Structure 1
Amino acid sequence: MELTDHPLTEARRYGYVEDGGVWLRPVLGQPARRIGQVKDTDDDALRYFAQRYEAFRTKIDELLQRLQAADNQGSFLMKLLHLQEQTKRHDGLGDYESLHRRLKEAEEQLNVSVARNREKNLATKISLIAQAEALRDTVEWISASETVKDLRQAWLKTGPVDKALTEELETRFHGAVQEFFDRRKAFQSDRKAMARRTVERYRDLVNQAETLKNSDQFEATSRQLKQLQTAWREVNGTLPKKQAAELWTKFRAANNHFFERLKKHIESQRPVEVRPGAAPGSPEESLLRKRELAKRAEALIALPPNQGVTQAKALQAEWKQSGAVRGPESDQLWQRFMLACDKVFEMSALDYYLRKRQAEGAAPLAPAERAQAATTALRKFIESDRQELATLKDNLGKLNSSAANDQFRQLLQGKIRTFERKIQTKTELIALFQLPITG
C-alpha cells in the first residue's frame, strides 16, 4: 500500500509549477501569482512552500490562542488586521481562505468585546468624574488629596472609550482635578496669611503685656491683663509648635512678672497692728492674725484664678495655725475669710466652665460678652444650688429628733450652711461682673 504524501497533496491543491516557477492559485479575490522558483525538483519546491504556509498558519494559531487568554484583548486588533493583509501576500501554498476567515471572525468577536469594554470604561470614567467633581466643596485637604491621587491612578488604568467622547471626558475629569488643586493652593495661601495675622496678634498681646508688667496701677492693670488673657484665648490660632511655645512663654512671663509684683504689693500692704501687751499666742494676737488673713483673702480675687486658688489654700492652712478666738468678731472674721476664699474657688470653677465651652466650639467672646456669659452661668449654678439646698432642708425636716440622728443632723446642717454660703458667694460674684469695665 502506497503512503500518501499529504504536504505535497495539499501543495498541489493550492498551487502548481509552471516555467520553472511555483505559483499560488487565485485566492481571496487575488489572481494567481508566482511565489518562488524551482531549485531542485518540482515536488521539493511545492513541499517547501507548503511548509511556509504551515509555519504561517502556526503563527496565526498561536496568536488566536493568546487572544483568547488575554485580559486586554483590544491590544490584539492591529495584529489581526495585519495578518489578514498578510494572507493576501504571503508566499506559501495552503488554505489562505480559511486563515483569512478565521482572522476575520476573530476581528468581529474582538470588535464586540472592545465595544462592550468601552461601555464599561465609559461607565467607570463617568463615575471617576463624578467623584472628582464631588470634591469641589471639600475642605478635608489631606484625605481629599489622597482621594484625588487614587482617582488619577484609576483614570490612567481605565481603558479607552469611543473616540467621539474621549476629549469631553478628559476635559471634565482633568478640569475637576485642576479645580481641586487650585482651591487647595488658594487655601494654603490663605492659611499662610492667617498664620501671619495670628502671629501678629499674639505678638501684639505679648507687647501689651510686657508694657504693663511693671505698672504700679495694680487694680487697673490686673483687669487689663485679665482682658489680655481672654483675648489670647480668643485668638485660638494654630501655629507651629515651637513658635507657639515661644510666644506663650513670653506672654506668660510678662503676666507672671506683674502678678508676682502684685503679690508682693499685697504683702506690703498688710496692716501692722502692734498692741502693747499682746503676748505671742494670746487671743489678741490670734485676732490680729485673723484680721490680716481675712484682708489677704479678700485681695486674692484680683489674681488669675489658678494663682488665687493656690494662695487661698495656703491662707486656709495659715488660718488653722492662727489660734482659737471666741466672740462675735471672731465669727465675723471667719465668715469674711471663708466668703473671700469661696469667691476665689468659685471664680476658678467658672473660668474652667467658660474655657471648656470655648474648647467645645463656642464662638470667641468679647470681654463684655464674657462677663454676660459668666453672669448667666452663675445664675444657672445658683438655681442648682437652691434646688440642692431645698432638698437638704426637706431631709432635715423629715429627720427623727432622736439622739441617734444627732450626728447625721449636724452633717445636714453643715451642708445647709455650705450651700447658703455658695449662693451668697455666687450672688456677690454676679454683682462683681456687672460692674463697668474700665482701664
Structure 2
Amino acid sequence: MTSTEWGRVGDDGTVYVKIADGERAVGQYPVGTPEEALKFYTDRYLALETEVSLLDQRVRSGVLGPDEAAESVKLVRAQVVDANAVGDLAALAARLDSLGPVLAQQRAARRAEKAQKSAEAKQQKEKLVAAAEKIAEGTDWRHGANRLRDLLEEWKALPRIDRASDDALWKRFSGARTAYTRHRKAHFAEQDVKRESARVIKERLAKEAEELAGSTEWGPTAGRYRDLMRDWKAAGPAPKDVDDALWARFRGAQDAFFGARDAANAALDAEFAANAEVKDQLIVEAEALLPVTDVEAAKRAFRDIADRWDAAGKVPRDRMKDLEARIRKVEQAIRGLEDEQWRKSDPEKSARAGDMVSKLEAAIAGVEADLERARAAGNEKQVKELEENLASRQAFLEMAKRAAQEFSG
C-alpha cells in the first residue's frame, strides 16, 4: 500500500482521502502506479486550493458583491466537501467558512452605504420637490417649463428610496408640474385672447392712419396721429407676424403724412426767408430808437415799424422766436418809459401831493406858534416835545415837496 499524509492507495488501486472520522474513497487509478494515482488526485486538490485562494481574494477585496460572493462560496464549498481529491479538504472548507464574517461585515457596510445613499437621495428629492413647487407658484412662463423638465431628469437619475417616502414626494413633485402646466396653459390662452383683441384694434388704427396719410390739415392731423400712437401702445401686442405687418402699414401711413408735412413746411420756410430778411432790417431800425429820449416820437416811429412788420408776413419757424423777442424788447422799452411818465404826471397823485404840502405847512405854522408860547412861558419840557414834533413835520414837508415837483415835472 502506498500512502501520504492525506491519502492512500489500496492494493486494488482504490484511492482514499483522510477525513475527520476516518477516510473515504475518492476513485480508482488502475492503469498506473500508486504514486501516479496519488499525484493525480493530489493535483485535483491543488486545483481546488487555487480556486479557493482566488475566491478568498475576490471576496475580501470586495470585487464580488456579498450576495454573489456568498453564492460562490456555497458552490465551491460543496465542491470541496465532496471533492474526489487528496489533500486537507477540511482546511479548505474552514477557509471558505472563514469568509462568513467577512461577508456579514460587507453586507452591513452595504446596508449602511445604501441607507446613506437613500438619505441623500431623499434629501435631493425633497430639494427637487421644493424647487418644483416654487416654480408652480410663480409666473415664469418662458423658463419654468424647461426648468421643470431638467428637474424631472434629475429625479430620474436618483435612486428610489423607501416606497412610502418616494411615493409621497413624487405625488408632490408631479402635482407641482401639473399645477404649473395648467396655469401656464391658462396664461397663454388669456394672452391669445388679448392678442386677438389687440389685432382687431390695431387693424382699425392702421386703417385710420392710412386714411389720414393724404390729409393737408397739418395741425389737427398731426394731433390725431399722436392719439393713434397712444392707442396703438395701449392696445398691447398682437400675434407677432400680424403685429409686424400692421405696424408696417401704420408706420408707412404716418411717415407719408409727416413727410408731406415736412416738405410743405420746407417750401413755406423757403418762401418766408425773404420776409425774415425784411424783419431783420425792421428790427435794426427799431433798436435804433433805444434808448428812448422822446417818448411820443419813439411811439410814432415804432407804430410805423409795426405796420411794416405786420405787412412783411410770416417768417420761417426757426426764426420766429428770435425775431419776436427782439421786436418785443423795443416795444416794452417804449411802453415802460411811457408808463413811468404817466405815473409821474398822474393828476390825481399830483393833487394829493399838493394837498399834503399845504396841510403840512399849516400844521408846521401851528406848531411854531405853540413853540413860541412855550418858550415865553419857560416850559422846557413842552419846548423839547414841540421842537421834536416840528423837526419831524419839516422832514415830511421836504419829502412831500419833492414828490409834488416830480408829479408836476
- TM-score norm. by structure 2 comes to 0.52
| Counterpart Cα distance in 1 of 2:55 and 2:183 | 55
Q: Is the 8 A contact 1:214 1:258 kept in 2?
A: yes
1:267 shift after superposition: 9.4
Amino acid across the alignment from 1:100:
G
Deviations 1:149-196 (A, max 9, x none): 442343233233124433333343344344444544554454455444
- The residue that corresponds to 1:126 in the other structure is 126
Corresponding residue for residue 110 of structure 1: 110
Equivalent pair of 1:57/1:99 in contact (CA under 8 Å): no
> 2:279, 2:312 within 8 Å by CA — same for their partners in 1?
no
User: Which residue identity is paired with 1:292?
Assistant: K
Alignment map for 1:233-312 (pairs within 5 Å): 233-237=233-237, 240=240, 244-259=243-258, 283=282, 287-288=309-310, 291-293=313-315
Residue 220 of structure 1: how far off its partner (Å) = 5.5
With over 3 angstroms needed to count, the CA separation of the structure-2 counterparts of 1:35 and 1:222, relative to structure 1, is: farther
Number of residue pairs aligned between Structure 1 and Structure 2: 281
Deviation string, structure 1 residues 239-266 (Cα, Å, up to 9, x no partner): 64x7655433321232343445667888
Contact 1:205-1:232 at 8 Å conserved across structures: yes
- Structure 2 CA distance for partners of 1:122 and 1:329, relative to 1, 3 Å: closer
Larger Rg: 2
Match of 1:226 in 2: 226
Contact 1:286–1:325 under 8 Å retained in 2: no
CA deviations on 1:124-155 (whole Å, 9 max, x unpaired) are 22222222222112222444345434423432
Instruction: Render the CA deviation track for 1:71-104: whole Å, top value 9, x for unaligned.
Output: xxxx935424433543553446412311333223
Aligned to 2:317: 315
What letter corresponds to residue 205 of structure 1 in structure 2? L
Counterpart of 1:82 in structure 2 is 71
Amino acid at match of 2:157: K
Asked if the contact 1:132–1:173 (Cα under 8 Å) also holds between the matched residues in 2, the reply is: yes
Q: Supply the AA of the counterpart residue of 1:253.
A: G
- The one-letter code sitting in structure 1 at the alignment partner of 2:248 is T
Conservation of the 8 A alpha-carbon contact between 1:17 and 1:23: no
CA deviation profile, 1:374-393 (whole Å, cap 9, x unmatched): xxxxxxxxxxxxxxxxxxxx
Conserved 8 A contact 1:16-1:46: no
* Distance (Å, rounded) in 2 between the aligned partners of 1:84 and 1:204: 88
AA of the residue aligned to 1:49: Y
Partner of 2:293: none
Matched, 1:65 2:67: no
Residues 1:148 and 2:144 are matched in the alignment: no
Which residue identity is paired with 2:234?
E
Rounded Cα–Cα distance in structure 2 between residues aligned with 1:141 and 1:234: 23
Q: Does 1:55 align with 2:51?
A: yes
Amino acid at match of 1:82: E
Is 1:289–1:322's contact at 8 Å kept on the other side of the alignment?
Answer: no
Amino acid paired to 2:48 = R
Equivalent residue of 1:118, what SS? Answer: helix
Partner of 2:137: 137
Query: 2:394 maps to what in 1?
Result: none
Structure 1-normalised TM-score? 0.49
CA distance in 2, matches of 1:223, 1:180: 46
- Name the aligned partner's letter for residue 169 of structure 1: L
CA distance in 2, matches of 1:256, 1:116: 71
* Residues 238/106 of structure 1: CA separation in 2 closer, same or farther (3 Å cut): same
Question: What's the offset of the Cα at 1:224?
Answer: 3.4
Provide, for residues 17-69 of structure 1, a one-character-per-residue CA deviation record: whole Å limited to 9, x for no partner: 9995888979xxxxx9x9975666245324423432432442342244245xx
* SS of the residue 1:292 aligns to: coil
Partners of 1:130 and 1:17 in 2: how far apart? 77
State which drifts further: 170-179 or 284-293. 284-293
Distance 1:88 1:171, change over 3 A: farther
- Cα distance in 1 for partners of 2:99, 2:234 equals 83
Letter matched to residue 79 of structure 1:
E
Which residue number in structure 2 is paired with residue 157 of structure 1?
Answer: 157
SS of 2:78's partner is: coil
- In the TM superposition, what is the alpha-carbon distance from 1:323 to its structure 2 partner? 12
CA distance in 2, matches of 1:132, 1:148: 6
Q: Partners in 2 of 1:223 and 1:197 — Cα distance?
A: 25
Shift of 1:206: 0.7
